[in-house]
Structure 1
Amino acid sequence: MNVLVIYTHPNHQSLNYAFLQKVVEGASENRHIAEIQVLDLYEEGFDPVLVFNEHKRRRDMHADPRLAKYREQLLWAEKIVFIYPIWWGRPPAMLLGYIDQMFASGFAYRDKGGLFPEGLLKGKSVVCLSTMMGPTLYPLFWLNNAHRVLMKRALFRYVGMTNVKFFEFGYMESPEKGKHAAKLDRIYRYFKTVAR
């Protein structure tokens, strides 16, 4: 299994970065995982800004040569892992900009003229690992589960990816209250043993 980890946090001293290290550590010890690639969107200098004008049209985004290497990564990966904080009830703008550009018509899905498109990224599995300051159940009860609906229904199912697992960790501003050590170990153990 090929694993692509998409890391979206500007600080390498952050808890999110510690989770990234545990994902890589566990995956490196997993006999089911052949290769791991990490895409650090901030370190990469990924440009999340969409530009459409007379020279650059939205319908051509799936073939934008500037994004070719990122398309190749997504095609190569069998499991895609997203690591990010939840800010204002949703992923960072950097990650949303990546999604806007990468999950484009003609690459991630094909319009068939009906209610739903044909997903072109079928067979891939997804893990979303997110952290937040408030309680873990805050998005569920206060925001009507908007984060999961956005990621799972509006994005992943739309492009054909139905095997989606969430790790949503709350109270992450406090190592004690948030039980950082236990959660880091949980992530390490998950990626050390996951088979698909």
Structure 2
Amino acid sequence: MLEVEMVVDSVRLNLVNPSRTIWLRQKDRRRYLPITIGGHEADAIAIKLVNLKDDAPMRPLTHDLLLQTIEALGWQVEKVLVRDLSDQVFYADVVLHREEEEKVIDARPSDAIALAVRAAVPIYCAQSVLDRAGLEPEDDPAETPEEPVSEESLKPFAEFIGQLDLDDLGDD
């Protein structure tokens, strides 16, 4: 399975319903994968992303506890993979590593991503999932370079500006 590295671009509030959306962005391209997640998971991800030291919870959150438990058992989180999309439901794996051993744990993408941001490990998406659900913004026409403007086409504007009496602007 071809895997594409992603980064967390943003966590956004949905104005239509109480859900949140996490936007993953392809690391080397402007292609996005929006995944709808629950509010608690969104908060857990956002807290870690913005590194709220002053407003951080006094006690470990669930994902902090999970990471501490994994590490206490001698495992390391190696990566997270959004591996499948079926009936509008995303599926993810948390890949753990210990010496020569690897374990793959099925997880909701929101929990897997919350764990990934805490462990500072890469987030990947299966190419097939990105091909089906990824979004690539079209170029903004305002940003698209046009042909250079000719002096002839600017002539009416130059004449208009030349006729302005700047003394009438006043001293406000």
Which has the higher Rg, Structure 1 or Structure 2? 2
**TM-score bracket for this pair, using the shorter chain length:** under 0.3
Looking at secondary structure, tell me which structure has more strand per residue: 2
Q: Between Structure 1 and Structure 2, which shows a larger proportion of helix residues?
A: 1
TM-score, normalization: structure 2?
0.26
Higher relative contact order (CA 8 A, sep 6+): 1
